[in-house]
Amino acid sequence: MSRYDDVLAVLKVVRDHESANDPDTACNPCDTPGLAKAMGLEPQEVADRLSDAERRGRMITAKKSKGETEPYFEDIRLTPNGHAAVAHSSP
């Protein structure tokens, strides 16, 4: 299981990408490889953190499919719980 801070780091990137207007700098909607590239992590690390976000408090919604990671997430969006977690963690 990922550390909560690691889960929040992924959620913050999803939040930032949801509000970004430049498709060259952000995946919107996000997927596992796009987030991995943005964060400088391996795709499986991102998939594990997203799984934890889903399990811990339904902080994301996403489609799961077959891909290079297990599970492979695409069309990742924050839920109200995810937005609240990010807002609560920001100073």
Q: At what angle do helices 4-19 and 80-89 cross, to 10 degrees?
A: 110
Cβ contact 36:46 at 8 Å: yes
Give the model's pLDDT for residue 18.
Answer: 84
Q: What angle do CA 17, 91, 48 make, to 5 degrees?
A: 50
Secondary structure class of 65 (helix, strand, coil): strand
Q: Which domains does the chain have, with CATH numbers?
A: 4-89 (1.10.10.10)
> pLDDT in tens for each of the 91 residues of the chain?
679 999 999 999 999 988 877 766 677 789 999 999 999 999 999 999 999 999 988 999 999 988 888 899 999 999 999 999 999 886 6
φ, ψ at 87 (rounded to 5°): -60, -40
Q: What is the pTM of this model?
A: 0.88
